[in-house]
């Protein structure tokens, strides 16, 4: 491969470990004599089009390591789909800056951007290696067993539900947690990792992979409340009715350029579900929390496995692009067997771009209101160890009769 | 003091360290020969009235230590103000169970309960030592420099804002965080600890100690947005208009038996503020997160100082009640001087019961949209060290001209 410069950028929603991928890519690039300058574009393709580049060789290794451990996209992010004209403009800029290697860190929309750039570069005869580096807390990238960012966000969700379940035990009622994840239920499902005993919450989990019925929801909550005197629920922000209309769509019509409806940044869905329970049952204490942006960039809540894998996909993308002179994305593939292990494999961009995948049926219970043991086995090693919380043994004191 | 049994219970909102106080009290009680049985009542005075007692001497030290490190009220909690009849019924039960020492862990409402029980016991000639043990994330107990539970909740808020500010840097817009605290702004003010550089958020902080004006809010946000291209806001759930009507009161009328309006468990206030910014400015990306119950019982987010002090107030309450044979509450008093230090002092129940205190004027800036350096000096040692997050040095790359 001819010597040339490298350009890297971040796109889509931030995560707790997306900077591990950035730093992994930069540290790897430094080992290769074929790589000249290492440009970072600010705010994804917006920064490329605006020639808003920083010189990543000017960052010390110490700074890079500290940035790797810092949540949210250090280069800034964007949600923007490039047009053919954008690509033409970017190629002119890349030619001028002698960019031969292009890396784009993000989810399915970012993979689509990398795919578009790659296809256009081939069509226009531009010599460019295009790589997508996976990141999404939604865990919905095709070709991947799981994605960098998911493990840490899932750890946040599991910890949150551990705390909320204890809180709800202390002051019983119904509590509804609204969790991110768009059309994939993985992150909401991770709330199940909060459970260690049979009566631990969440007692009900609603995922976008199943049509949401308000009537069934009210019935389910009432049944749990009758049995336990309380009920903790985890609900995906992406739940929708039988026609596929997101419940949240009743409140918003904001969309990004990839056509995604804005699901986060509002408590409306939680409040709607609270109102439903209050209207249809006699339960008085009904509360909702929407985890919002906390779950994707909360400092100190990081899965170690997730951080390591995020670093590796960055390294592998650069190594593969340079050594093999090909385009693609790095996918995390799970090794079979009881012991957790993964391999990192190069897959074509079209295999991860745009379309997403959802939870397999084997991870969802028949009633569509909980996950299965198979899901817990799948997710637990990605999240890593959780704190052991303890309850009192609570030996009832001997009653002392009147008299 | 005559030998007798001890009864302890928890009340009001849970916290991350309320079990430290419970365990501190139990471990201390075990050292005193005057204490016979150690009863824990489930769900505060509700458990006393229902004789729902557990035998805390049956818990091993290992269990107690693990429970101390577990968030939320291990005995269960309640929000209930006792009537004179309730007191009479409780005294009959306490007489039967030979209870001579009564400890109630909680905030101002719980102190009011302890105060009522104490006054009634004196009026009815019941021999009972009544102690309140302080706990509230709101940090609004009178006679206290600060309260157990605040430091850990404040740490959550500071960490959350660190993450949200980085997230907002990556995808710029307006972000509004709604924080607990009722009529006291301390917890919302703690968001200021997230700042280490001049352009770090939160850029605006609105507290219930100042009347909230929607017009001033919109002006403030617009000004920050013009300067930085983004704006991160922290708002207390208890903000109210110039007439003292809580902004959230437009959405709810739920009250507890102490007369408190329900402020938490809904995203309505955040959504209202988002709608206001969207309607009155041209800013497109406007989001809100309501921290809700996450901030008071999130496992792993604990201030060590807070945990130690919570343990101490439990120990001191038991020691004082038994050794001095008096009633009261244990207050945390700050020692003067630059180096952080506190003493634990016994104060009369009436000094902490019912009425709360607010942020002093010296902690709030003149415009009423931020805190002062004095607040940061006050709060930082209570919260303890926060992680050092790092940004790229971001040296702009040399522009390469067309040609």
Nearest CB neighbour to A297, from listed B69, B166, B396: B166
State the CB neighbour count (10 A cutoff) for residue B229. 10
Taking the CA of residue B17 and the nearest CA in chain A, the distance in Å comes to: 12
Burial code (b: 16+ CB inside 10 Å, e: under 16) for B249-258 equals eebeeeeeeb
- Are A335 and A343 spatial neighbours (Cβ–Cβ below 8 Å)? yes
pLDDT for res A250: 66
- What is residue A249's predicted lDDT score, i.e. its pLDDT? 77
- Find, in chain A, the residue whose alpha carbon is nearest to that of B61: A392
Task: Answer whether A272's CB lies under 8 Å from A247's CB.
Answer: yes
Contact B166 A396 (CB under 8 A): no
Sort out which chain A residues have CB atoms less than 8 A from B393's CB and list them.
58-60, 63
Beta bridge partners of B41: B53
What string of H, E and C letters represents the secondary structure of A242-269?
A: CCCCEHHHHCCCCECCCCCECCCCCCHH
CB atoms inside a 10 Å sphere around CB B30: 14
| CA nearest to B314, candidates B84, B133, B121, B184 | B133
**Unique residue bearing structure tokens 């009432």:** A222
3-state helix, strand, coil in chain B (%, to 5): 40, 20, 40
Is A300's CB within 8 Å of B393's CB? no
Model confidence pLDDT, tens digit, residues A251-268: 665 666 666 666 666 788
Mean pLDDT value across residues A338-343: 95
A229 SS3 class: coil
- Please indicate if any CB of chain A lies within 8 Å of the CB of B234: no
A355: annotated active-site residue: no
CB–CB contact B160 A294 (8 Å): yes
Instruction: Calculate helix-pair angle for B150-170, B373-383, nearest 10 degrees.
Output: 110
Q: How far is A73 from chain B (nearest CA, A)?
A: 6
Task: Find all residues with CB under 8 Å of A41, minimum gap 6, and list them.
Answer: A7, A8, A9, A47, A48, A52, A53, A75
Region for residue B69 given its phi and psi (left: phi exceeds 0; alpha: psi -120 to 50; beta: otherwise):
alpha
Query: Judged by CB atoms within 8 Å, which residues 273-292 of B form the interface with A?
Result: 274, 286-292
Percentage of residues in chain A having pLDDT higher than 90: 91
What are the start-end ranges of the H helices in A171-267? 186-189, 214-228
Mean pLDDT of chain A: 95
Looking up tokens 């001033």 gives B216
- Confidence at residue A256, expressed as pLDDT on a 0 to 100 scale: 64
How far is CA A179 from each of CA A160, A210, B151, B182, B216, rounded to the nearest angstrom?
Answer: 10, 15, 26, 25, 33
Structure confidence at residue A167 (pLDDT): 98
Mutation for testing the B interface, residue in A167, A384, A402 having most B CBs under 10 Å: A167
Q: Quick check: pTM over 0.95?
A: yes
Cβ–Cβ gap B169/A66 under 8 Å: no
At A333 the pLDDT is 98
- Is A294 close to B163, i.e. CB distance below 8 A? yes
- CB-nearest to B392 from A54, A286, A394 is A54
Least confident of A263-277, A389-403, B380-394: A263-277
Q: Which residue(s) pair with B5 in the sheet?
A: B99
Angle (CA) B254 A176 A370, round 5°: 155
B48–chain A nearest CA distance, Å: 12
Helix crossing, A18-29 with A304-324: angle to 10°?
40
State how far the Cα of B169 lies from the Cα of B190, in Å rounded to an integer. 20
DSSP state for residue B255 in the 8-state scheme: B
A:61-100 residues touching chain B, CB 8 A cutoff:
63, 66-67, 69-79, 96-97
Q: What is the pLDDT of residue B403?
A: 76
**Burial of B346 per CB tally in 10 Å (0-12, 13-18, 19+):** middle
User: Which of A229, A253, A289 best tests the B interface by mutation, with the highest count of B CBs <10 A?
Assistant: A289
User: pLDDT by residue for chain B (403 residues), tens digit each?
Assistant: 568 999 999 999 999 999 999 999 999 999 999 999 999 999 999 999 999 999 999 999 999 999 999 999 999 999 999 999 999 999 999 999 999 999 999 999 999 999 999 999 999 999 999 999 999 999 999 999 999 999 999 999 999 999 999 999 999 999 999 999 999 999 999 999 999 999 999 999 999 999 999 999 999 999 999 999 999 999 999 999 999 988 887 666 566 666 666 666 678 899 899 999 999 999 999 999 999 999 999 999 999 999 999 999 999 999 999 999 999 999 999 999 889 999 999 999 999 999 999 999 999 999 999 999 999 999 999 999 999 999 999 999 999 998 7
Please report which residue ranges of A69-149 form alpha helices under DSSP H.
84-96, 108-123
Q: What angle do CA A277, A282, A285 make, to 5 degrees?
A: 65
Residue A396's DSSP bridge partners are B54
Contact B392 A40 (CB under 8 A): yes
What are the structural domains, with CATH classification, of chain A? Answer: 4-148+301-351 (3.40.50.450), 152-298+358-383 (3.40.50.460)
Say how many Å lie between the first and final Cα of chain A, rounded: 94
Read off the pLDDT of residues A289-325 as tens digits, 9 standing for 90 and up.
999 999 999 999 999 999 999 999 999 999 999 999 9
- How far away is chain A from the Cα of B112, in angstroms, using its nearest Cα? 19
Q: CB–CB of A390 and B67 under 8 A?
A: yes
Q: Is B284 exposed, middle or buried (0-12, 13-18, 19+ CB in 10 A)?
A: exposed
φ, ψ for residue A98, nearest 5 deg: 55, 40
Which is nearest to B67 in space by CA: B116, B1, B18, B32? B18
B259 φψ region: left (φ > 0), alpha (ψ -120 to 50), beta (else): left
Q: How many residues does chain B have?
A: 403
* Window 287-326 of B, Cβ < 8 Å to A: 287-294, 296-301
Buried b (16+ CB within 10 A) or exposed e, B32-49: bebbbbbbbbbbbbbbbb
B274, A265: Cβ pair inside 8 Å? Answer: yes
| Residues B210 and B238: beta-carbon distance below 8 Å | no
Q: Find the helix or strand (DSSP H, E) in which B374 lies.
A: helix B373-383
Q: Closest by alpha carbon to A189, among A389, A355, A377?
A: A377
- Chain B nearest CA to A4, separation (Å): 15
Q: Which of A55, A85, A86, A138 is catalytic?
A: A138
| Closest listed residue to residue B110, CA positions, set B154, B71, B165, B147 | B147
**Does residue A2 carry a pLDDT above 70?**
no
């Amino acid at each position: 491969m001819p010597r040339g410069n490298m350009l890297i950028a971040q796109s889509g929603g931030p995560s707790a470990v997306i900077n591990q991928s950035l730093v992994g890519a930069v540290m790897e690039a430094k080992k290769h004599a074929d790589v000249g300058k290492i440009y970072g574009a600010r705010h994804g393709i917006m920064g490329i089009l605006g020639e808003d580049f920083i010189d990543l060789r000017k960052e010390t290794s110490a700074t890079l390591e500290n940035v790797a451990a810092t949540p949210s996209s250090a280069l800034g992010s964007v949600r923007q789909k490039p047009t053919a004209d954008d690509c033409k403009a970017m190629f002119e800029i890349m030619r001028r800056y002698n960019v031969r290697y292009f890396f784009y860190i993000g989810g399915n929309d970012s993979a689509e951007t990398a795919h578009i750039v790659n296809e256009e570069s081939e069509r226009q005869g531009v010599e460019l290696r295009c790589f997508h580096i996976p990141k999404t807390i939604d865990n919905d990238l095709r070709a991947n067993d799981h994605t960098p960012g998911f493990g840490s966000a899932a750890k946040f969700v599991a910890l949150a539900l551990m705390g909320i379940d204890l809180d709800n035990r202390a002051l019983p009622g119904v509590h509804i947690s609204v969790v991110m994840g768009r059309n994939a239920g993985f992150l909401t499902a991770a709330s199940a990792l909060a459970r260690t005993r049979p009566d631990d919450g969440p007692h009900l989990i609603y995922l976008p992979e199943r049509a949401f019925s308000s009537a069934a929801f009210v019935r389910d909550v009432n049944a749990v409340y009758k049995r336990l005197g309380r009920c903790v629920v985890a609900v995906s922000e992406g739940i929708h009715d039988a026609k596929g209309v997101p419940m949240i769509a009743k409140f918003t019509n904001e969309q990004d350029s990839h056509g995604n409806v804005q699901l986060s940044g509002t408590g409306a869905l939680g409040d709607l579900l609270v109102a439903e329970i209050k209207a249809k049952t006699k339960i008085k204490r009904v509360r909702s929390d929407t985890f919002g942006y906390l779950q994707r960039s909360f400092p100190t809540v990081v899965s170690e496995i997730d951080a390591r894998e995020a670093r590796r996909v960055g390294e592998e993308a650069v190594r593969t692009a340079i050594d093999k002179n090909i385009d693609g994305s790095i996918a995390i593939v799970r090794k079979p067997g009881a012991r957790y292990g993964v391999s990192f494999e190069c897959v074509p961009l079209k295999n991860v771009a745009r379309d997403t995948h959802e939870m397999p049926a084997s991870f969802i219970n028949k009633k569509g209101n909980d996950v299965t043991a198979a899901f817990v086995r799948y997710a637990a090693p990605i999240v890593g160890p959780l704190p052991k919380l303890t309850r009192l043994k609570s030996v009832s004191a001997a009653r002392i009769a009147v008299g």
